[in-house]
């Protein structure tokens, strides 16, 4: 009999312990469409934000340009137009060089080089990326800029180690300059790059050339800047700009299902001066939360004001529902100073301490999003100051929002309505600990020899 009681107590204690939630809530960092910020800066800011948030708060973080791409597509970013313009300018520069119009070639190829930093990962043509560095290097060499030419030749060799100039088409001095730069790159050992993704099976591209399906391994990568792109039907393209230098040994990509719904103009302008959100936008955010299995969102917008990089930000919690005021943070013009300023920014996200798991099943991906026309996205509004700038209340009329009484407003400012005690994580954690302790004590007592039992009979 006592063994049956023991088994029953063990089952109950296990059920109570399992009742305590184990999974941390998820925060999705979503980059709004931006046109004037280089991919390298976007990647650096998003990666730093994710790392800082993970280190300070008990939340999972889904971050990267891929998240914003899954929600908004390429609309409003100009990425596709940029890639087409890049290829057009490279073709014009190549034609000008072959026509001995060196100044025109330099102009067009420098313009293409500026575009490469923004949309290089969108370029599907490995030949276009190769021709940029080849003909820009040749044009610089023709103008006597030997250092600039050598840099372009090294980048070309890093992108295409097998490429070589033909002795029939170029003079000996040009061949010697190119071969010297090529040897400098190929003399070292390349990084054997591994590209993995979740889910697997995505087609991987390195510098516009197919590199197999994920997990892809043993891809030789020489020092230089590189572009990685992953494509899988039903998921947003995942891209990475590897800056000039030594490449990482492993690139890990979390692919995000594309959202089939067309984002509203209100969502695109969520980093705005209005302090409250209309009911229609709340409904859209709940649907997005189910799609991304996220309890909250940190919407981010990057823009340039002269040499300075501005970061617009707004935190929205779905579980519990609350919204912070939109702010703008001036990151300055020194990338090595972003870390400290972003660390200060993350400290104010106190609402993340009350974030709880969103009770909604994620929506399965079902093919790419439907195309739509271009959307104009206004940049974050700066209202004065240099570092942290709260946006003023908006005077623009919008959908009616229910008024809050003093008690409800206090709850909203504290992070939303309180959770019933019987649904709280702490209640089930304590209950599980008590039951587990009781089960352990009962187990010890039941396993004692029968001669030590005391039978008490009540009259």
- 245 and 294 assigned to the same domain: no
- 89 and 223 assigned to the same domain: no
Structure tokens at 342: 């972003």
- 234 and 106 assigned to the same domain: no
The domain that holds 219 is classified in CATH as 2.60.40.1120
| Residue 358 pLDDT | 72
Average pLDDT over residues 235-247: 86
* Residue 22 reports pLDDT greater than 60: no
Edge-to-edge strands of the sheet including 209-213? 209-213, 203-206, 226-231, 238-242
Q: Which of 137-141, 158-162, 336-340, 451-455 has the lowest mean pLDDT?
A: 451-455
* Residue 395 reports pLDDT greater than 70: no
| Residue 288 pLDDT | 94
400 part of a folded domain: no
Alpha-carbon distance of 197 to 255, in angstroms, equals: 7
| In the block, residue with structure tokens 């709004």 | 32
pLDDT, tens digit (0-9, with 9 covering 90-100), for 260-318: 899 999 999 999 888 899 999 999 999 999 999 999 999 999 999 899 999 999 999 99
Residue 390: CB atoms within 10 Å? 15
Give me the torsion for CA of 16, 17, 20, 22, rounded to 10°. Answer: -150
Q: Which of 161, 186, 211 lies at the terminal end of a domain, its last residue?
A: 186
The domain that holds 57 is classified in CATH as 3.40.50.10070
Per the CB < 8 A criterion, the answer to whether 150 and 173 are in contact is: no
Per the CB < 8 A criterion, the answer to whether 207 and 129 are in contact is: yes
| Residue 314 pLDDT | 94
pLDDT band at 396; cut points 50, 70, 90: very low
| Closest among 196, 223, 201, 239 to 46, alpha carbons compared | 239
| Residue 270 pLDDT | 93
The domain that holds 153 is classified in CATH as 1.25.40
Q: Residue 31 pairs with which residues in a beta bridge?
A: 300
Q: Which of 254, 275, 306 lies at the terminal end of a domain, its last residue?
A: 254
Per the CB < 8 A criterion, the answer to whether 227 and 241 are in contact is: yes
Q: Where does residue 347 rank: exposed (0-12), middle (13-18), buried (19+ CB within 10 A)?
A: exposed
259 part of a folded domain: no
Helix (H, G, I), strand (E, B) or coil at 323: strand
- 34 and 137 assigned to the same domain: no
159 part of a folded domain: yes
Q: What angle do CA 148, 149, 153 make, to 5 degrees?
A: 120
| In the block, residue with structure tokens 């409003």 | 76
Helical segments of 124-270, H only: 126-142, 146-159, 172-186, 265-268
| Closest among 246, 207, 198 to 223, alpha carbons compared | 246
- 373 and 334 assigned to the same domain: yes
Q: Residue 229 pairs with which residues in a beta bridge?
A: 205, 239
| Residue 40 pLDDT | 83
Per the CB < 8 A criterion, the answer to whether 263 and 234 are in contact is: no
Backbone angles phi, psi at 228, to 5 degrees: -115, 140
- 166 and 126 assigned to the same domain: yes
- 16 and 144 assigned to the same domain: no
pLDDT, tens digit (0-9, with 9 covering 90-100), for 419-448: 454 445 555 555 565 555 555 554 444 445
Backbone angles phi, psi at 52, to 5 degrees: -65, -40
Alpha-carbon distance of 319 to 340, in angstroms, equals: 29
pLDDT band at 68; cut points 50, 70, 90: very high
Structure tokens at 11: 């089952």
Alpha-carbon distance of 276 to 14, in angstroms, equals: 43
Alpha-carbon distance of 268 to 299, in angstroms, equals: 10
Alpha-carbon distance of 303 to 290, in angstroms, equals: 29
Alpha-carbon distance of 327 to 310, in angstroms, equals: 10
In which domain, by residue range, is 421 found?
1-68+283-392+411-459
- 167 and 288 assigned to the same domain: no
Q: DSSP for 114-128, please give it.
A: HHHHHHGGG---HHH
Share of residues in the chain with pLDDT > 90 (%): 51
74 part of a folded domain: no
How far are the Cα atoms of 85, 92, 121, 270, 379 from residue 79, in angstroms, in the given order? 10, 20, 9, 21, 17
| Residue 86 pLDDT | 94
pLDDT, tens digit (0-9, with 9 covering 90-100), for 83-101: 999 999 999 999 999 999 9
Q: What is the mean pLDDT of the chain?
A: 78
170 part of a folded domain: yes
Domain count, the chain: 3
**What is the DSSP-derived secondary structure letter of residue 422?**
G
61 part of a folded domain: yes
Average pLDDT over residues 25-35: 90
405 part of a folded domain: no
| Residue 242 pLDDT | 86
Structure tokens at 414: 């504290």
Average pLDDT over residues 400-419: 39
- 32 and 118 assigned to the same domain: no
- 174 and 231 assigned to the same domain: no
Q: Give the total residue count for the chain.
A: 459
Q: Which of 156, 186, 216 lies at the terminal end of a domain, its last residue?
A: 186
Per the CB < 8 A criterion, the answer to whether 49 and 342 are in contact is: yes
pLDDT, tens digit (0-9, with 9 covering 90-100), for 144-203: 999 999 999 999 999 999 999 999 989 999 999 999 999 999 988 899 999 999 999 999
Average pLDDT over residues 114-141: 92
Structure tokens at 377: 């996205």
- 314 and 380 assigned to the same domain: yes
Structure tokens at 432: 């599980």
- 119 and 172 assigned to the same domain: yes
pLDDT, tens digit (0-9, with 9 covering 90-100), for 363-374: 433 333 333 333
Average pLDDT over residues 46-66: 92
H-helix or E-strand spanning residue 301: strand 296-305
| Residue 438 pLDDT | 56
290 part of a folded domain: yes
| Whole-prediction pTM | 0.69
Cα within 13 Å of Cα(391), Cβ side: 24
């Amino acid at each position: 009999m006592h063994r049956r009681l023991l088994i029953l107590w063990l089952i109950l204690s296990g059920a109570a312990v399992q009742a305590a939630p184990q999974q941390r809530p998820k925060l999705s960092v979503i980059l709004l469409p931006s046109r004037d910020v280089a991919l390298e800066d976007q990647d650096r800011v998003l990666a730093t934000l994710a790392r800082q948030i993970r280190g300070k708060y008990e939340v999972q973080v889904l971050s990267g340009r891929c998240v914003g791409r899954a929600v908004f597509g390429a609309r409003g970013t100009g990425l596709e137009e940029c890639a087409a313009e890049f290829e057009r300018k490279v073709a014009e520069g190549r034609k000008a060089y072959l026509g001995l119009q060196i100044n025109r070639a330099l102009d067009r190829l420098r313009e293409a080089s500026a575009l490469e930093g923004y949309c290089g990962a969108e370029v599907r043509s490995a030949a276009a990326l190769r021709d940029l560095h080849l003909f820009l290097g040749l044009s610089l060499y023709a103008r006597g800029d030997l250092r600039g030419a050598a840099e372009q030749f090294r980048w070309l060799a890093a992108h295409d180690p097998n490429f070589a100039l033909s002795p029939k088409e170029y003079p000996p001095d040009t061949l010697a300059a190119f071969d010297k730069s090529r040897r400098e790159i190929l003399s070292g050992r390349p990084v054997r790059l591994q590209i993995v993704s979740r889910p697997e099976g995505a087609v991987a591209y390195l510098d516009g050339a197919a590199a197999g399906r994920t997990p892809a391994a043993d891809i030789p990568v020489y020092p230089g800047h590189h572009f990685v792109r992953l494509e899988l039907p039903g998921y947003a393209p995942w891209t990475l700009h590897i800056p000039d230098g030594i490449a990482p040994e492993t690139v890990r990509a979390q692919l995000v299902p594309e959202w089939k719904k067309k984002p509203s103009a209100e969502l695109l302008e969520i980093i705005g001066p209005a302090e409250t959100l209309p009911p229609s936008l709340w409904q859209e955010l709940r649907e997005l939360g189910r799609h991304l299995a996220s309890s909250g969102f940190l919407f981010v917008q990057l823009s340039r004001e002269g040499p300075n990089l501005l970061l617009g930000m707004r935190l929205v919690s779905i579980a519990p529902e609350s919204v912070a005021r939109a702010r703008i943070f001036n990151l300055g013009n020194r990338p090595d100073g972003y870390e400290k300023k972003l660390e200060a920014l993350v400290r104010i996200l106190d609402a993340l301490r009350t974030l709880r798991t969103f009770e909604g099943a994620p929506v399965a991906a079902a093919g790419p999003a439907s195309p739509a026309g271009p959307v104009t996205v206004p940049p974050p509004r700066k209202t004065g100051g240099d570092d942290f700038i709260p946006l003023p209340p908006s005077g623009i009329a919008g959908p009616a929002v229910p008024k809050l009484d003093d008690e409800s407003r206090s709850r909203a400012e504290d992070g939303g309505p309180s959770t019933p005690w019987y649904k709280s994580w702490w209640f089930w954690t304590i209950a599980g600990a008590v039951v587990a302790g009781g089960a352990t004590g009962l187990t010890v007592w039941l396993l004692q020899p029968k001669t030590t039992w005391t039978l008490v009979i009540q009259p």
